[in-house]
Chain A
């Protein structure tokens, strides 16, 4: 569908919507400009490349050095493979000593051996062959082409991932030239190409395959952000390949996960799904993602995380949402007491687990969103374009919950200081607005407020971005007394 017909379609839908629903709802004539689909996973910072383009990039590199060093492309490739495609190393080594780098890369043999005499006995099958049946390498080792192909086939079949394939002769340091490997029939050539491309991607810090099943995209990182949303739908961390976990780094997240795994007893207590209403002591089970709780028995509204009155949360009521900061813990102190340490840890763990739960709820909401959209369309008698905000809101909610969950790991490890204050402010804003968004998405269809939801999608995604982008620099100071 091209642009024009798309906007036509939009107009149609909106006309239809306005006619049918009458005055009940104000309709936004154009999609709000700030809706970002892959919120928090800002794809401006990533480029999606296909393998053919990587291949071209490699070919360009090869021909560049071919001209610079005046050596065959086979030798350039062997050198680049030997030195992990590092341009600086390769150039320095070349200018130090071309002979040495050629030897180290397996292009030239240690001692050139005498050319064989024919008929020649293949050292693999021990049969004699004439010259045209022998594959002769520049180290002087020859093999019959039948054994040589069988060997190559065996290597590739068993999943060779190292593109540096040695001469089969024991102790020989020569690496097979790529032109030789590619001179055999398919599929060797294309399989070898794939191995080379994979090696190149593996060695480049700014490139990575999408970990999604059968996904062909290669992702190039152009900035410092780590959360990637691939075109295939897979979301992952660019650095560790695991689930996206900004703002916390891979290392701190791993440390945290190890820690909470060791602390299962503590976790059992915290993950218990029920808490008592702080006012009437009725047990309450939390079965939705939003942390704004209303007790069924006494209608008391409170925050699930800190059990404080909800009135003190969120700027709409004039209060100030601040349950992301540990209370009763002197944060400025260099060394915390044992008791303070436990309180400190529990504070963050509690919030981490809360958001983890809410994240699961949000994922569940996301799964059922099509059904909800159908209901909405039926109820308000409107078109498909109009209900997109429902999917957008839960998509964003999933990302926010994930970011908040991980932000408590970062908060736990961050040392007190200006950076942490700023971070907690951003976290606070995001948390407050996520809670509101969460509430909005949990409303039944007839009570859904489209305009308010759209507004909160906009605000929340802004907060999400500023929190994630504010924490990408690597100069964060980490506590050492935990």
Chain B
């Protein structure tokens, strides 16, 4: 079965194969091309450096008109990512009223946006308020904790 969505995912994957993003790997599940497993390296010069974070990306029925669903599978200490790995990012917000997704955004550019969220946590729009307040009150301490958890979980 090849719906337009499947065709697009196939082409996106082919492009990611021929023109890969630095350090990022995207692997579709054998039995379902809509389900992707992503390995995202922590950006250099941040408290996530050296970590390899595993994410799951699911391009649902609405894709590409609706954003894919993304979740960190690796534990990460970040104000915009909660303990379940859910990500607070405008382009993939599951709340339609807030979502800035447009169908011209590709999986690759979405992953780059997630990576840059790791470099620049947004403490004004937190998902995990406890982590965010740690970040606001004691940025150094919060970053040390993030580094510790990266070494513990994302090696």
Q: CB within 8 Å of B: which residues of A?
A: 123-127, 141, 143, 147, 150-151, 154, 158-159, 161, 166, 168-170
Contact = CB atoms under 8 A, between A and B. Distances in A.
B103 interface: yes
Given A151-B103, A158-B96, A125 B8 contact: yes
Contact of A151 (B7, B11, B12, B102): B102
Interface string B59-74: 0001011100000000
Given A125-B4, A125-B8, A154-B62, A168 B109 contact: no
Nearest to B9: A126
Nearest to B110: A170
A420 B66 CA distance: 58
B12 to A, nearest CB: 8
Contacts of A150: 65, 103
Contacts of B7: 125-127
Given A150-B65, A161-B97, A168 B8 contact: no
A143 B105 CA distance: 13
Given A141-B104, A154-B62, A170-B102, 13 more contacts: A123-B104, A124-B64, A125-B64, A126-B11, A126-B12, A127-B4, A127-B7, A147-B103, A154-B65, A158-B96, A168-B102, A169-B104, A170-B105
A143 B104 contact: yes
Contacts of B104: 123-124, 141, 143, 168-170
Interface of A is mostly: loop
A170 B64 CA distance: 13
A127 B6 CA distance: 12
A143 B62 CA distance: 18
Interface of B: 4, 7-8, 11-12, 62, 64-66, 96-97, 102-105, 109
A168 B103 contact: yes
28 contacts: A124-B64, A124-B104, A125-B4, A125-B7, A125-B8, A125-B64, A126-B8, A126-B11, A127-B7, A141-B104, A143-B104, A147-B103, A150-B65, A150-B103, A151-B65, A151-B103, A154-B65, A158-B96, A158-B97, A166-B102, A168-B102, A168-B103, A168-B104, A169-B102, A169-B104, A170-B102, A170-B105, A170-B109
Nearest to B66: A154
Q: Which of A126, A161, A168 has the most CB of B within 10 A?
A: A126
B101 to A, nearest CB: 10
Nearest to B102: A168
A141 B104 CA distance: 10
A174 to B, nearest CB: 12
Contacts of B109: 170
Contacts of B62: 154
B34 to A, nearest CB: 16
Contacts of A124: 8, 64, 103-104
A459 B109 CA distance: 71
Nearest to A126: B11
Contacts of B65: 150-151, 154
A439 B12 CA distance: 78
A271 B66 CA distance: 53
Nearest to B4: A125
Q: Which of A124, A147, A168 has the most CB of B within 10 A?
A: A124
Contacts of A159: 96-97
Nearest to B113: A170
A294 B8 CA distance: 82
B99 to A, nearest CB: 8
Contacts of B64: 124-125
Q: Which of B8, B62, B109 has the most CB of A within 10 A?
A: B8
Contacts of A170: 102, 104-105, 109
A294 to B, nearest CB: 57
A143 B96 CA distance: 22
Nearest to A151: B103
A127 B3 CA distance: 12
B24 to A, nearest CB: 17
Q: Which of B8, B104, B109 has the most CB of A within 10 A?
A: B104
Contacts of A123: 104
A122 to B, nearest CB: 9
A304 to B, nearest CB: 48
A169 B100 CA distance: 11
A445 B104 CA distance: 73
A177 to B, nearest CB: 17
Nearest to A123: B104
Contacts of A154: 62, 65-66
A127 B65 CA distance: 15
Nearest to B103: A124
A169 B7 CA distance: 19
A123 B102 CA distance: 11
